[in-house]
Amino acid sequence: MTNEISDHTGQGGAATGRGRAPVLSVRDLHVRYRTDDGDVPAVNGVSFDLAARETYAIVGESGCGKSTVALSLLALVPVSAGEVSLGGRNLASMRRSELRRVRGREIAMIFQEPMTSLNPVLTLGHQLVETIRLHQPLDRGAARRRAIEMLERVGISDPARRIGQYPHELSGGMRQRVMIAMALSCNPRILVADEPTTALDVTVQAQILALLDDLRAEFGTGIVLITHDIGVVAEMADRIGVMYAGRLVEEAAAADLFSDPRHPYTRGLLASVPRVDLAPRDGPLVALPGSPPTPGRLPQGCAFRTRCAQAMDVCAKPPPELRGADRMVRCWLHV
Amino acid sequence: MLASPEIRSLLRRTRRNPLAVVGLAMVGFVLVFSLLLPLVLPFDPNQMNVRNALQPPGPVHLLGTDQFGRDLLARLAHGGIISLQVGFAVTLLSVLVGVGLGALSGFAGGATDAAIMRVMDALMAFPGLLLAIALVAVFGGTMTAIVVALTIVGVPRFARVVRATVMQRKESDYVTAAVALGKRPWKVLFQDILPNCSGPIIVQATLKFPGAILGEAGLSFLGLGLPPPAPSWGRMLQESRAFMEVAPNAAILSGLAIFITVLGFNLLGDGLRDVLDPRSPRSRS
């Protein structure tokens, strides 16, 4: 399968390979958390591009650093090295006043826990109107009309009444819709969705994903979707980056990744998910042995080699960098 | 903010807490006694009538008279006004200054936090009443001096409580979400953090109120309160000690006034704390 390596070998993915300029370009992102036991590297050099109207999914286990990547896209955690560039400007080096103009207006975020992501003492209307007026020169009346319009657009019935309600009067799914309405109320070019459906019922999950997909088409918003759920990814991602121990280990178009996973970790992930579209296998689902390494105490060379069934001697050396444009994999099996 | 769901559910849960209800009733009684009674009483609390001194309770002077023949009921009621004034002023000032300092400390962190909290620690290192005595001795026995002294004693605890709560709320999801939307820090503080700190602030305030009243009574008992003839409960208690054997009603009644007021506000405060503490079984609605 290694003979399918793509023709264009752009530099570190600088070209998207899809003929469109990226709206968001992340280069060699590093994030370290300071703890009492010294610095812990959570993200160790992540690079990817997001094109307009595209959904880029980052998939990985708990603790692989994917949520940290999400937060660093809005500089909500201090970026220790690398670039997050948004239309040519590097978010990681912006002053706080510049950041405030970018956050919410050009790049917005929704969170995993809709139950706690809204201020419990303010009405939905109050919060939406505040958000709209942060970045748009509208008076209260106009902002209120826009708020009602946004609530209606995200599928909340009777928005004129709902706008006077408090968050605790809404279900989790409803609150996530409100979060989406707030995030999109200033028409950002990029929406970062950090596990947006993890806390929701399965039926509501599907609705929220469908809504995000609709809104992406309607508003032309690029979405960075962070999830541990391959099923969610299959439903709406255009491209997928698989993350392990603070690094992307494989990146490909969604269809390619599912039909032809190359990194042993990606294969392990896919094999551990039950699928209704395939005939039942012989025997139980395959679980990946072991658990992810502790950040700061990664194995030498490839971080996955201690759990990898195909590990070789060469894996003790740092694995090859991600190369190519359409199909990238960080593994000695594919060089 | 009064209509906020947190406050409404707070009131509902308070009603189910018997001790809080008792406290509320005592507080209500004290308020009526001190604020409404003086309007209908025919006696001036400072009108002396030496021939009428040390009367037991009777039909004219319902609770009797003191050593100068002043009507005890009128003096107690007017003394209540002084106590409530001190309690209210000290609590309000402590809330304003304490919330300001605590919020600044918890929100800014770093050197600001360290500087403010070390000053608060230094103030807390003195025994409260001793510090108040020293301050009143310096500023003199006026209402302003008493209020300022008791406020200085009361602020550190507020600042600590508010700082801790602000630091906690700062890490909450809705604050991260607000920052992610590009809100200015002061807006995040005033819209998203402080309104969600109201619970601990309310509890601390209801506990500060009786503390301030007790503080004022203590100061005037020691002769550092408002100068005579102001009918302060602490001074009344102190002056009536000399006549306890002949006319115990003055000593008993002024002591009782302090007791009921302080106990009432304390019960109410404790009840509110139970109701607001999510770990307490009474907090569930």
Q: What is the pLDDT of residue A11?
A: 39
B191:A119 CB<8 A? yes
Residues A312-327 pLDDT 10s: 888 888 888 877 777 8
Residue B68 is classified by DSSP as T
How many angstroms from the chain centroid is the CA of residue B147? 11
Q: How many CB atoms lie within 10 A of CB A175?
A: 22
Residue A308 one-letter amino acid: C
- Over 70: is that where the pLDDT of B117 sits? yes
- SS3 state at B258: helix
pLDDT confidence tier of residue B7, bands split at 50, 70 and 90? low
Whole-number pLDDT of residue A283? 61
Residue A142 has pLDDT above 80, yes or no: yes
Q: Is B239 left (phi over 0), alpha (psi -120 to 50) or beta?
A: alpha
pLDDT digits (tens, 9 = 90+) for B270-279: 887 777 765 5
pLDDT of residue B268: 87
Question: Chain A contacts of B4, Cβ < 8 Å?
Answer: 121, 166
User: What are B231's two structure tokens?
Assistant: 């009918």
Chain A residues inside the 8 Å CB shell of B5? 120-121, 166, 168
Strand partners, A327: A252
| B174, B192, B197, B285, best to mutate vs chain A, most A CBs in 10 Å | B174
Selected residues 192-251 of chain B with any CB under 8 Å from a CB in chain A: 192, 195-196, 198
Q: Give pTM, 2 decimals.
A: 0.81
CA B31 to chain centre: 13
Q: Is A131 part of the contact surface with chain B (CB cutoff 8 Å)? A: yes
Confidence of residue B107 (pLDDT cuts 50, 70, 90): very high
Give the model's pLDDT for residue B280.
Answer: 52
Averaged pLDDT of chain B:
86
Q: Which residues of A214-250 are buried (b: 16+ CB within 10 A; e: fewer)?
A: ebbeeeebbbbbbbbbbebbbbbbbbbbbbbbbbbbb
Specify the range with the lowest mean pLDDT, choosing from A15-29, A199-213, B21-35, B87-101. A15-29
Contact between chains at B180 and A105 (C-beta distance less than 8 A):
no
Buried b (16+ CB within 10 A) or exposed e, A35-67: eeeeeebbbbbbbbbbbebbbbbbbbeebbbbb
pLDDT band at B10 (very low <50, low <70, confident <90, very high): low
Which pLDDT tens digit goes with each residue over A82-112?
999 988 899 988 998 999 999 999 999 999 8
**Which pLDDT belongs to residue B284?**
42
B203-229 pLDDT, tens digit each: 889 889 999 999 999 999 998 888 888
In SS3 terms, B165-177 reads as HHHHHHCCHHHHH
Contact B135, B149 (CB under 8 A): yes
- Mutation target to probe the A interface, by most A beta carbons within 10 A, among B6, B171, B175, B181 is B181
- Model pLDDT, residue B283: 44
Closest CA of chain A from B192, distance in Å: 6
Does the interface ipTM go beyond 0.90?
no
Query: Is the pLDDT confidence value at A20 over 80?
Result: no
Query: Is the pLDDT at A38 greater than 60, yes or no?
Result: yes
- pLDDT per residue over B131-141, tens digit each? 899 989 888 88
Phi, psi dihedrals of residue A22, rounded to the nearest 5°: -70, 145
Query: Nearest 10 degrees: CA dihedral of A10, A15, A17, A18?
Result: -170
Overall average pLDDT of the A234-260 stretch: 90
CA distance A212 to A218: 10
**d(Cα A223, Cα A107) in Å, to the nearest integer?**
10
- Inter-chain touch B176–A111, beta carbons under 8 Å: yes
Q: How many other CB atoms sit within 10 Å of the CB of residue B131?
A: 17
DSSP string, A12-79: TT-S-SSSS-EEEEEEEEEEEEEETTEEEEEEEEEEEEEETT-EEEEE--TTSSHHHHHHHTTTSS--
User: What pLDDT, on a 0 to 100 scale, did the predictor assign at position B279?
Assistant: 53
DSSP 8-state assignment for residue B278 = T
B195 closest CB neighbour out of A99, A109, A121: A121
Residues 6+ apart with CB under 8 A from A328: A13, A248, A250, A251, A252, A322
